[in-house]
Amino acid sequence: MAIYETDNQLKMFRQAFQKFLQREIVPHIDAWENEGITPRWAWHKMGQQGYLCPGLDEAYGGSGAGFEYSVVITEEMARVGASGLMAFLHSDIVVPYIESFGTNEQKRKWLPGCASGDIITAVAMTEPNTGSDLAAIKTTARRDGSSYVINGQKTFISNGINADLVVVAAKTDPHASPASRGISLICVEEGTPGFSRGRNLKKMGLHSQDTAELSFMDCRVPATNLLGEEGRGFYYLMSKLQQERLLASIMAQAMAEKMLEMTIDYCNQRQVFGRPVSSFQHNTFKLVEMATEIELGACLLRELIGDHIAGRDVVKKVSMAKSWIPEMANRVAYHCVQLHGGYGYMEEYPICRFARDVRVNAIYAGTTEIMKVIIGRMMGLP
């Protein structure tokens, strides 16, 4: 998509980050995929170079850069297939909760480590029987003197194995009406008694991304770990969803662009019946159709990114992007694998991994179906 290409400073940043990825990250991706996790030293490398939490205030170790720098990082990591290193989740989804709603003491305690890569973060919302219906979570946090005692189970938690700090959504008032008013956010640190991790879940894609089950059994944390106000957790989560869903759309868009690029290269080189695969009219038309859909996605995202940076409320349009772009990227993945023929099914060809990895973009941060429900309500539909 390459946003704001007239900005020379951003161009130079993109080029520097591309070189960093090729030097420090890309050579290791295959090994990480086999190991099922990205090592902590990769997070430290990202932090040392200022590629974690670029929007964080300089007082806490960030560079105070605009959101467009986070967009570049997300795009370029997606394009090289490093989606398993879930930096955008850490930098642009979890850390903003702490920066926006945390106390000065919490910020001083945690944010510098988040910027350096010494602290890896996760957010724990999803439960075994609760997905998109966040108000229905069962995990509780009972106030007991100067502590909260947390009990419950979470699943599908990205960065769940590596995380040093988990922002946990829990019910501090199980009897609140509506139920969403009883939810609070509480930060749980690695090593807290009663906090344990289950297995590193085996997934269809994103194999190098550690996704885990988390358990809280009489997990006692200081009351000072409450993020913001008690009972405001649902509001806090909703307030950050616009950016989360925008980033998920940006990742899917970048992956679609890369898949088309590699497929055009393959189809131009691969010979069938003495002709390049791309020279057959059906294949030409298919490549053109994909290129058109990808361009439509890029046009929508350019406008949305600009509006988001300007602080405008674009929840409906972001929901439209999140409902359409990941589905488009999955269509692109299907046709690109098909155009690769048998080689598209082989792990040694990047298109195979991209096709697996892109699938989840239509699921996390709100499924396609949930996005359509939101859009429908905002259109005034019953």
In angstroms, the CA 208 to CA 35 distance is 7
Strands 183-189 and 165-171: antiparallel
Closest alpha carbon to 144 in 34, 85, 248, 221: 221
Nearest alpha carbon to residue 101 among 174, 186, 197: 186
Instruction: Tell me the two tokens of residue 335.
Output: 């046709």
Given a contact cutoff of 8 angstroms between Cβ atoms, the answer to whether 44 and 118 are in contact is yes
- Nearest to residue 283, comparing CAs of 300, 260, 303? 260
Query: CA–CA separation, 25 vs 47, rounded Å?
Result: 13
- The pair phi, psi for residue 180, each rounded to 5°, is -60, -25
Active-site option among 33, 230, 244, 257: 244
Question: Which amino acid appears at position 5 of this protein?
Answer: E
Helices (H), the chain: 8-20, 29-35, 40-48, 67-79, 87-89, 95-101, 104-116, 233-269, 281-309, 315-340, 350-358, 368-378
Q: Does 244 participate in catalysis according to the annotation? A: yes
- The C-alpha atoms of residue 94 and residue 155 are separated, in whole angstroms, by 17
Tokens of 221: 């944390």
**What are the structure tokens assigned to 236, written together?**
């806090």
Best CA proximity match to 233, nearest among 187, 297, 289: 187
Q: What positions carry a catalytic annotation?
A: 244
